Chains A and B, each alone.
Chain A
């Protein structure tokens, strides 16, 4: 407790971060904080680089400007070994699940344990079964990834992400393409893991309702900037038209239904003038 730096209020913080993909600006001087033990969501339309942000936090990408602090460490200044050490404390759930297709469910969950620990096989078995029990797929341990439904694959990936008991989990679009039942299961799991294991969760999503239901704090980003932030309640009553359109899913608003085009009537008539 004496080292206030290490046990700061925020597990992850992003300071004045800019990131360019070639000439294209993805993030323009954004700052965010992710509180310990809370579920923080990052929302925004597709193609705003939400996944990129997770990769920046995980140190897979290097920002053009600014810095990312995770658990008191500046991610970009770490050596390779230190970065890999830090990543053991981070779990990440990829959109596709990213399960290793040549291993079955059991071996997938055991994978990080076998790679990073020298535990005896009996202990690994206990741990794996515990994690599988937590996600409700203990009975599916012998299935191969191609025999799983999308929702099941994501749950197995979740079990794998928590195998090393990380401090935090990053969810990349966890709700996309799920049927209502899988969706319910995932929402329940994310919430439950957060409270029972005291995990810090970062969710990247554009699914407004599901995310608002479980998030403690929301950042809304668009065009590389944070356009609004606050609790789900705050966001719902945001005074920004854009945020209102995004949260309510209106067809027209600040973001127009039509892609920029010449005047409709002119366009229709222009053929004869050629």
Chain B
């Protein structure tokens, strides 16, 4: 029994310690941002591997999520004779929730795990240490551009996810299920507000971008520098990111759409 408490206390302490290291890491990373302005090439390279390479999985997922939403929504709405609201339903669900959340989850799996593995392996192969000895700060040179790329890419990906999703919903709803084309768009436009829905959705994905990329980079940087340590860190990135995304989504939704 005593051992259990000891174990719990130890776990709690070490998770706080990790949070502390993570915060310190975050502050150092942010301090590296001005440096990127001098060398935008570093950012562009990372935008490619973080953003562009996630493009395909995000757009394809968006298309299918929109199509499924439309199909499911149609069956429920048609029971009430409210098929005309299909566009509103699909767009609201995508822009407010599914766009930011699913994009962030996919991003954590696609780009986040890659970032953790990359940074973890750089640590394991002494590349980070080597940079330090060459008087180059690895946080500024390696971490900061990746972090900024993640923060910028996430909202772009979420926008693309939602846009493609709305079009996918249109494809199924109007193309296959014969919902009126005008009603699909008009109801959507009258019910969705740019600031309340679209901007809030973007704020969500921006927050997710900051958190997921932070988790991914820190797990890599903090990984035990062995192949097993890196593989564990990669798993932790995906799991912790998923928890963080879903938890934060609840809080942000309560704050934004609560009134």
Interface residues of A (CB under 8 A from B): 55, 58, 60, 84-85, 87-88, 90-92, 94-96, 98-101, 111-112, 115-116, 157, 160, 164
Contact = CB atoms under 8 A, between A and B. Distances in A.
Contact of A60 (B121, B127, B132): B132
B130 interface: yes
B129 interface: yes
Contacts of A116: 135-136
A98 B135 contact: no
29 contacts: A58-B132, A58-B133, A60-B133, A84-B135, A87-B132, A87-B135, A88-B134, A90-B133, A92-B130, A94-B126, A94-B129, A94-B130, A95-B126, A98-B127, A98-B129, A99-B130, A100-B127, A100-B130, A100-B131, A101-B122, A101-B125, A111-B134, A112-B134, A112-B135, A115-B134, A115-B135, A116-B135, A116-B136, A164-B134
B116 to A, nearest CB: 16
A92 B133 contact: yes
Nearest to B136: A115
B65 to A, nearest CB: 34
Given A92-B133, A115-B134, 15 more contacts: A55-B129, A87-B134, A87-B135, A88-B135, A90-B133, A95-B126, A96-B126, A98-B126, A98-B127, A98-B130, A112-B134, A115-B136, A116-B135, A116-B136, A157-B130
Interface string B123-161: 001110111111111000100000000000000000000
A99 B127 contact: yes
A57 B180 CA distance: 75
A112 B135 CA distance: 8
A84 B131 CA distance: 11
Contacts of B125: 96, 98, 101
Given A96-B125, A101-B125, A84 B130 contact: no
Classify the interface of chain B: helix, strand, loop or mixed. helix
A115 B135 CA distance: 9
Contacts of B130: 92, 94, 98-100, 157
The 7 closest A-B pairs by CB, nearest first: A98-B130, A87-B135, A98-B126, A92-B133, A84-B135, A94-B126, A88-B135
A84 B137 contact: yes
A164 to B, nearest CB: 8
Contact of B141 (A87, A91, A115): A115
Contacts of B137: 84
A85 B135 contact: yes
Nearest to B132: A60
A116 B134 CA distance: 9
B99 to A, nearest CB: 32
Nearest to A83: B135
A87 B133 contact: yes
B227 to A, nearest CB: 13
Interface string B89-130: 000000000000000000000000000000001100111011
Contacts of B131: 100
Contacts of A101: 121-122, 125, 127
Among B130, B132, B141, max chain A CB count under 10 A is at B130
Among B121, B126, B133, B137, max chain A CB count under 10 A is at B133
A88 B141 CA distance: 16
A118 to B, nearest CB: 11
A160 B133 CA distance: 11
A6 B47 CA distance: 47
Nearest to B128: A98
B220 to A, nearest CB: 14
Contacts of A85: 135
Contacts of B129: 55, 60, 94, 98
A111 to B, nearest CB: 7
Among B121, B129, B135, B137, max chain A CB count under 10 A is at B135
Nearest to A115: B136
B204 to A, nearest CB: 32
A164 B141 CA distance: 18
Nearest to B133: A92
Contacts of B135: 84-85, 87-88, 112, 115-116
A206 B11 CA distance: 38
Nearest to A85: B135
A98 B129 CA distance: 8
Contacts of B132: 58, 60, 87
Nearest to A163: B134
A112 B136 contact: yes
Contacts of A160: 134
Contacts of A92: 130, 133
Nearest to A80: B137
